[in-house]
Amino acid sequence: RGTDFVCRDQGLVVNGGVHIIITFLPEHESEEKQILGRTCRQDDPGSARKILFLEDLSYLKASASNRMERASQMGLAESEYDWDKYLDELREEKESEKFKTMQEEEEKTKKL
């Protein structure tokens, strides 16, 4: 599963605890939640942030203009459609595409 980030330095705990910087977008939202949860085990304080390079998200076809267009289509102001929500939706769409492809391949195999 994962490793807890343990902090034995009470000075760090008093100042907010362990902070994790995630520099990649996990393939699944559940994996992301697991990583984020590692910072604050057993009631210890902690925090995390994602810092992502947009070009690394090209496999999702993520772009600032695409995000703005989606927000507009949903009748939302850009500020109401944050990057996390946008990337979660793209990740779900990618997962659905994979699943559909697997189903199609299975159907082809059944016909052999």
List domains and CATH numbers for the chain.
10-111 (3.40.50.300)
**Would the pLDDT of 6 be above 90?**
no
Contact 18, 39 (CB under 8 A): yes
Q: How many CA atoms lie within 13 A of 2 on its CB side?
A: 14
Q: Average pLDDT over the chain, rounded to whole?
A: 88
DSSP letter (8 states) at residue 112: -
Q: Which residue has the tokens 């929500």?
A: 85
Three-point CA angle 90, 83, 25, nearest 5°: 60
Tokens of 2: 């994962």
Q: Is the pLDDT of residue 34 over 70?
A: yes
Q: Kindly report, residue by residue over 15-32, the tens digit of the pLDDT.
A: 888 888 999 999 888 888
